[in-house]
Amino acid sequence: MRPTLRLWSLASTATSTVKFHSIPAPHTGAIGILTLAAPYKNALSLSIVSDLHATLSTLKFWTSGAYPTDPSSTLRTLIINSDDPSAFCAGANLKERITFTDDQTAAFLKDLRGVVDRIDNLPIPTIAVIEGAALGGGCELALATTLRLASPSALLGLPETRLGIIPGAGGTLRLKRLLGESRALDLILTGRKLKAEEAEKIGLVNRVVPEGESALSAAIEVAKEICRGGPVATVEAIRAVREEDEPGAYERVRRTPDRDEGLAAFKEKRGMKFSGKIARD
C-alpha cells in the first residue's frame, strides 16, 4: 500500500518523467520525495536524465554554510522512489540507446554521470526506495544515495558485462566503496542479480521492509528520524564522513545555537527544539 502524500504536501512540481512533493520535517525544513515516472519501468532516457537535472536545479538543500532564507521549503532529506511498483529503474532505455551515434552516446553518458554525481554529492541524506528492479543504471542511481530501503520484491544488479560493456555512471567505484573490491567484482563480472534478502545481507541495501508494508512509508519514517537531529549536525556528519575531517566538522557544530539547545534540553529533561541556525544570536 502506498501512502497518500497530497494532504501533507508543502510543494509539488512535475515534469513529464519526474514528480516532486515535500512534507514538513521535524524541527524545521522539509523532506523531499522525488518520484520517477518515466515509461518502460523508468528506463534511463534523454528525457528522464534531463528532467532529473531540471528538478534538482529547482530544489533548495540545507547546508552548514548559511541559514536558508526560506527554511520551511529547504530540504533536509530527499527520498527517491518510483511510481511503478514493479521497478525502481530498470536501467538504460536500450531502444533509444541503439539509435545513438557514438558522439550522442558519449554526450548522454556525460549527462547521466552528471545527474548521478549530483545526487551523490548533495549535502543532505538521500534515501532510495527500491521496489522491483533496480538494474544497470537504476542500480547505479540507487548506489548514489546515502541509504537504500527495499521491498521484498526488489531485484538489484549490474548486468552490463552481459551486454559487452561495463557500468558507466559511477557504479564500479560506488559498489567497491560500499562492499569492497572482491564483492564488487563478483557482482560486476558475473552480472548476477540479487534479491532483497541477499542484498541486505551483503550491505547493498540497508534494510528490507516487511511484506505488506509500504516501503515509501518506511523511508519517510527514516527521514523523519534523521531530521529529529540537528539540521547542521546532520549535514556536518555527512561532511565528516565524506571528507574524513571530523575535527573540522565538530568545530562547525560546536559554535551553533543547536549545540547549546541540545545541552540545555538534556539538563532540563525536555525535548529538543533545533533551529538549524549557524550563529548564536
As a three-state string, the secondary structure of 66-126 is CCCCCHHHCEEEEEEEECCCCEEECCECHHHHCCCCHHHHHHHHHHHHHHHHHHHCCCCCE
| pTM confidence score | 0.92
| Site of grid cell 509500504 | 214
Collapsing DSSP to helix, strand or coil, 33 comes out as strand
Euclidean distance between CA atoms 97 and 133, whole angstroms: 19
Catalytic residue among 30, 132, 133, 160: 160
Domains of the chain: 11-227 (3.90.226.10), 231-268 (no CATH)
Assigned C-alpha cell, 17 = 518523467
Q: What is the pLDDT of residue 278?
A: 86
Q: What is the pLDDT of residue 216?
A: 98
Each residue's pLDDT tens digit in the chain (281 positions)?
444 333 334 456 666 899 999 999 999 999 999 999 999 999 999 999 999 999 999 999 999 888 999 999 999 999 999 999 999 999 999 999 999 999 999 999 999 999 999 999 999 999 999 999 999 999 999 999 999 999 999 999 999 999 999 999 999 999 999 999 999 999 999 999 999 999 999 999 999 999 999 999 999 999 999 999 999 999 999 999 999 999 999 999 999 999 999 999 999 999 999 999 987 65
Q: Does the active-site annotation cover 137?
A: yes
Catalytic residue among 43, 87, 92, 215: 92
Q: Does the active-site annotation cover 38?
A: no
Q: Does the active-site annotation cover 140?
A: yes
Q: What is the pLDDT of residue 14?
A: 62
Q: What is the pLDDT of residue 66?
A: 86
* Pairing between β-strand 133-135 and β-strand 155-157 as defined by DSSP bridges: parallel
φ, ψ for residue 246 (rounded to 5)? -60, -45
Catalytic residue among 29, 91, 134, 140: 140
Q: What is the pLDDT of residue 12?
A: 61
Catalytic residue among 137, 157, 262, 276: 137
